[in-house]
Amino acid sequence: MPLDRAMSWDYSEKKMFGGVTLEIERKFLTKEIPFSLEGFVCKQIIQSYISFEPTIRIRKSNEQYFLTVKGKGHMAREEFEIPIQQQEYDRLLEKIEGNEVRKKRYYIPLERGYMAELDIYEGQLEGLFTTEVEFPTMEEAESFVPLTWLGEDITKDRRYKNTFLARYGKPKAVK
């Protein structure tokens, strides 16, 4: 799959429910990356939470800004995301709970058209690497056989959710 096609998949091919997408993904605790990241698309991401319950997040991704509301769940959950202006983002920063989460996200194409989103955390979370892979269906998510480098499946481990990281910091297992 061409990189530009893979980069747009998450917005154009998710199941839609009246403007709300169903995000289906698995998350892995990546210990080491056995190849150079040079040449892969990379975004600098800063995200903060206005609310943890319900989950309401603001995110700066390079020079784009988003407001996102997420439902409950691990492998599959509803998500509603809209672009916002920098001024709106800056005003909402005054209302955040917890700590901001800073990371570099690398987009790494995988076989069968999947995209690995490798997050290399910075600041208080430095040393933590996670990788998410999104899927169009639950069946594909459940049958996916991860490459060894992706690491341990932590999809259901709440300690690695970004909301948990923003509230409590890096889990003790990776300190």
**Catalytic site positions:** 49
Query: Is 46:59 a contact under the CB 8 Å cutoff?
Result: yes
Question: What are the angstrom distances between the C-alpha of 26 and each of 18, 33, 65, 82?
Answer: 24, 18, 24, 23
Q: How many helices (H) and strands (E) does the chain have?
A: 4, 10
Q: First CA to last CA across the chain, in angstroms?
A: 37
Buried b (16+ CB within 10 A) or exposed e, 142-160: eebebeebbbeebbeeeeb
